[in-house]
Amino acid sequence: MTASSLSPDDRLLAIEEIKTVFARRVRYMDMKQWDLYGSVHTDDAWSESYGDMPPDKQPHSNGQRNRVVGPEALAKQIRYFMEHNAPITSVHHAHQPEIEITSATTATGIWPMEDHLWWRNGDRDEFFHGYGHYHEHYRKVDGCWLICYRKLTRLRVDHTPGFYDRLDCR
């Protein structure tokens, strides 16, 4: 079945289901529900969401920097980022998505996003405030829409000095 053969109601339903899976992902991240984070991804999902980090701080998979593959690895990496050295409190906002249904079982989406992160460094409050876009691909698996690819591009980042110093190489 092609995207053009879907009824308008089925297209709208798919878009709403994709919005829901995206919202769950950011809620699981902000609420630190690591046991659920992988559940919104396909088994072969991969992410290129760390490209704004210095190369020596980027995660890698099979020798490729800025790449994390698989739902368990995705959950493990974001948990590491959010809890390593100092726990981070985060708030992620995404809005006004451009979702294109490309077939009955595939779709793409671009989400304008903003994230706020806060943590303590000794007696100092530190912060990170980013603006950009999530570029995602989705696949319907066993009747459920899941994320199969994500790339984060940033337009602007404001942060306290030494933000990336809190991370060790992985």
pLDDT in tens, 112-152: 999 999 999 888 899 999 999 999 999 999 999 999 999 99
170: pLDDT confidence band, cut at 50, 70 and 90? very low
Looking from the CA of 167 toward its CB, the CA atoms found within 13 Å total 19
Beta strand 144-159 with 41-48 is parallel
Q: Which domain holds residue 88?
A: 3-166
Q: What is the pLDDT of residues 26-80, one digit of tens each?
A: 999 999 999 999 999 999 998 875 546 555 554 555 666 555 778 898 998 889 8
169: pLDDT confidence band, cut at 50, 70 and 90? very low
Domain CATH for 52: 3.10.450.50
Residue 55, pLDDT score: 55
Number of domains present in the structure of the chain: 1
